[in-house]
Amino acid sequence: MDDFYRKLADILDVPEVKPAAVLGDFTEWDSLSVLSVIAMLDSDYGINLHATELWEFKTAQDLYDRVVERSGKRS
Amino acid sequence: MAQPETLYTLITGASSGIGEAIAARLSQERRLILHGRDTGRLQAAQARCAGPERHLLWQYDLRDVAGIAPSLGAFIGERGIGVECVVHSAAVLKILPVRMVDHKALDEVLKVNFISAAEIVSLLVKKRVNQQHLQAVVFISSIASRFGAPGFSMYSASKGALDSFMRTIAVELAPRVRVNSILPGGISTRMTSGLLADPKVAAKFERDYPLGLGNPEDIVNAVEFLTSDRARWITGQELIVDGGRTANISI
Amino acid sequence: MKGDTASPMEMPDRRILVTGAASGIGRSTAVLLSRLGAKVACADIDQAGIDETMGLLQGPGHTPWQFDFKNIHAVGDWLAALAGSFGALHGFVHAAGIPAPVPLKALSIEKWREVFLVNTEAALALAKAFPGRRVYAGESGSIVFISSVMAQVGSPAAIAYSLSKAALDGVMRSLALEFAPRKIRVNCVAPGFVRTPMFQRVERLWTEEQRARVEALHPLGLGQPEDVANAVAFLLADSARWITGSVLVVDGGYTAQ
């Protein structure tokens, strides 16, 4: 679980991301970061999410839950 | 007395997007060597060409730059053929913010987009490999070569390298070989589908492109022109084909 | 399959105005366009030259229209009259132009203004009148200005010419943006040193050594008017339907080194 949030923190260029954090509140949550997340989910979790789906998530936890649901992994 | 060799046009990245469309058009008048990474997709591209049986398939992963010369050299040597024209359309698009760029990511982008092209041209201007058959080279570059866009640093660098290389070899190899680049703007293909799937990005494209987004045929027309005799006096040039995007600074 | 699709450079029954059609690049362009199926209106100050060009065109339906482009205020009405008689236009090529191979200290204000008038302002006046209902055929249009590598590189005694051509490149871009909503594309072709009567007038002023040096600076040697005509036709036709706001340099590699 830590691993996912750590990777997300790297992409968003912040020291840490808490599950309850609202994605839209991060200054770096933009088209570029969305693409980086898509690439990370593809290479590290083997799942393909579309940009439109990513824009719909409110918190980091929401995103994480979808990742778990689609990949069956907990990390 | 040796038989005169049959001459082919090599298209890298021929199994998708722009490369496939180029293959379909050039197959009408030329014999092609279709290059790609995936044999299945290559065969599908071949089936879409005019006179499919006239063309050859060279399956190869361009990330393995050390093996390009041996593989392509053997391919044409074994068949006793020559290559008169190369269209380098193979490319990878990796979009990353600068803070996530590293040499590993750069490695792949530079290898496929630029180094492979240098290896191929170098091989095909060696007399013992290809006599002096090579006459025309076209690199599919990108407007990203000249203009910056967030996330495109690696892609831009690789295309910039390609265009600089193009300009020098055009001067060096003249008058026998003409070398030019085409710089497409945003075109809807498999490579760009991820980028364009984002509605915010798609909306920006609509606004920024005076003539709207392009399709592969627009690039094909430019390739056909530059590789033809009609362009016999054009070399060392970057031809921008982008629906007016880079001329645009309208608010 | 071969033969199934016409080349995208074919322009069956497109009506195109070519200025400067009496000689050199303008003539070569008019001839090529006629071979690609277009109907050409040939304009130039030189009536005899136009007549000679008309004799070289392939097929019927072409028309001569003599005009002095220094007559800039009359361009709009002239173009409307031409379109009224010939038919609505799908594009035009401004190949009319004059050189002034004179160093600045010998170049009068009147002379450089004259060069600018014919080379640049006439093009702009034609562009201004082109989108009008009386002139433009409507569905898609293409305008090509013959610019020059002298817009991008410099040389002594090319002051007036460089001025006029650099301005063409600049105005072309904004025109491309302004005309895009009406599906009119605007581009420049920038030739290097091409064997035309205009070039010969300039070449006569050089020494043998200078001539040899210029030739040596061209990786592919000096060019023929046909080489430029091919690039113009490429940009005029549907082969370039997604190209606008660009400069296509046709110079045998001169500016690449």
Q: What's the confidence (pLDDT) of residue C1?
A: 36
Measured in angstroms, the CA of B123 and the nearest CA of chain C are apart by 22
Fill in the amino acid letter for C119. Answer: N
pLDDT tens, position by position, C25-53 = 999 999 999 999 999 999 999 999 999 99
Strands C91-94 and C15-19: parallel
| Chain C contact for B225 (CB, 8 A cutoff) | yes
| Block residue for tokens 């910056």 | B148
Q: Please give the share of chain A, as a percent, with pLDDT higher than 70.
A: 93
Q: Is the ipTM of this complex over 0.90?
A: yes
- Provide the 10 A C-beta neighbour count for residue C64: 17
Q: What's the confidence (pLDDT) of residue A30?
A: 87
Tell me the three-class secondary structure of chain A, residue by residue. CHHHHHHHHHHHCCCCCCCCCEHHHCCCCCHHHHHHHHHHHHHHHCCCCCHHHHHHCCEHHHHHHHHHHHHCCCC
pLDDT at B179 over 90: yes
Taking CB atoms and an 8 Å cutoff, what residues of chain C touch B246? 245
- Provide the 10 A C-beta neighbour count for residue C84: 11
Residue C4 in any domain: the answer is no
Tell me the three-class secondary structure of B79-125, residue by residue. HCCEEEEEEECCCCCCCCCHHHCCHHHHHHHHHHHHHHHHHHHHHHC
Helix, strand or coil, per DSSP, at residue B29:
coil
pLDDT at B203 over 80: yes
Residue C121 in any domain: the answer is yes
Q: What is the mean pLDDT of chain B?
A: 94
CB atoms B235 and C242 under 8 Å: no
Cα distances (Å, whole numbers) of residue C66 to A74, C19, C34, C41, C114:
81, 9, 19, 10, 19
- Name which residue leads in pLDDT, C190 or C3: C190
The per-residue DSSP string of B221-245 comes to HHHHHHHSGGGTT--S-EEEESTTG
Is residue C171 within a helix (H) or strand (E), and if so which, with residue range? helix C159-179
CB atoms B225 and C176 under 8 Å: no
Q: B-contacting residues of A 44-73, CB under 8 Å?
A: 50-52, 55
Residue A45 in any domain: the answer is yes
Confidence of residue C6 (pLDDT cuts 50, 70, 90): confident
- Domain extent, residue C21, equals 15-251
Residue C206 in any domain: the answer is yes
pLDDT at A73 over 80: no
Residue A74 in any domain: the answer is no
pLDDT at B237 over 90: yes
- Taking each helix axis from N to C end, the angle separating C159-179 and C109-116, rounded to the nearest 10 degrees, works out to 30
Best to test chain B binding among A14, A31, A34 (most B CBs inside 10 Å): A31
Q: C-contacting residues of B 159-218, CB under 8 Å?
A: 167, 170-171, 174-175, 178, 210-211, 214-215, 218
Q: C-contacting residues of B 25-44, CB under 8 Å?
A: 28-29
CB atoms B218 and C252 under 8 Å: no
Confidence of residue C19 (pLDDT cuts 50, 70, 90): very high
**If you compute the radius of gyration of chain C from its CA atoms, what whole number of angstroms results?**
18
| Spatial contact of B155 and B146, defined as CB atoms under 8 Å apart | no
pLDDT at C67 over 50: yes
Q: What's the confidence (pLDDT) of residue C4?
A: 42
pLDDT tens, position by position, C173-182 = 999 999 999 9
Q: For B35, what's the count of Cα atoms within 13 Å in the CB-facing half-sphere? A: 24
| Spatial contact of B41 and B15, defined as CB atoms under 8 Å apart | yes
Q: What's the confidence (pLDDT) of residue B2?
A: 55
| Chain B contact for A12 (CB, 8 A cutoff) | no
- Name which residue leads in pLDDT, C65 or A75: C65
| Chain B contact for A1 (CB, 8 A cutoff) | no
Give catalytic residue positions of C: 161
CATH class (in words) of the domain with range B7-241: alpha beta
Cα distances (Å, whole numbers) of residue C28 to C50, C103, C139:
12, 30, 26
Spatial separation of the C-alpha atoms in residues C153 and C85, rounded to whole Å: 41
CATH number of the CATH domain containing C221: 3.40.50.720
Q: For C82, what's the count of Cα atoms within 13 Å in the CB-facing half-sphere? A: 33
| Chain C contact for B73 (CB, 8 A cutoff) | no
Residue A75 in any domain: the answer is no
Q: How many domains does chain A have?
A: 1
pLDDT at C2 over 50: no
Confidence of residue A50 (pLDDT cuts 50, 70, 90): confident
The per-residue DSSP string of C44-97 comes to ES-HHHHHHHHHH--SS--EEEE--TT-GGGHHHHHHHHHHHH--BSEEEE---
pLDDT tens, position by position, C96-121 = 999 888 899 999 999 999 999 999 99
pLDDT tens, position by position, C116-171 = 999 999 999 999 999 999 999 999 999 999 999 999 999 888 999 999 999 999 99
Q: What's the confidence (pLDDT) of residue B1?
A: 46
pLDDT at C56 over 50: yes
Residue A18 in any domain: the answer is yes
Q: What's the confidence (pLDDT) of residue B80?
A: 96
Residue C88 in any domain: the answer is yes
Q: How many domains does chain C have?
A: 1
| Chain C contact for B243 (CB, 8 A cutoff) | yes
Which pTM does this prediction carry?
0.92
Closest CA to C254 of B233, B160, B227: B233
Please indicate whether chains C and B are in contact, defined as at least 3 beta carbon pairs under 8 Å.
yes
Measured in angstroms, the CA of A24 and the nearest CA of chain B are apart by 15
CATH number of the CATH domain containing A55: 1.10.1200.10
Q: For B182, what's the count of Cα atoms within 13 Å in the CB-facing half-sphere? A: 28
Q: Please give the share of chain B, as a percent, with pLDDT higher than 70.
A: 99
Confidence of residue B3 (pLDDT cuts 50, 70, 90): low
| Chain B contact for C58 (CB, 8 A cutoff) | no
Best to test chain A binding among B92, B196, B200 (most A CBs inside 10 Å): B200
- Domain extent, residue A16, equals 2-69
Rounded to an integer, the average pLDDT of B113-140 is 97
pLDDT tens, position by position, A18-33 = 999 999 999 989 888 8
| Block residue for tokens 């593809």 | A42
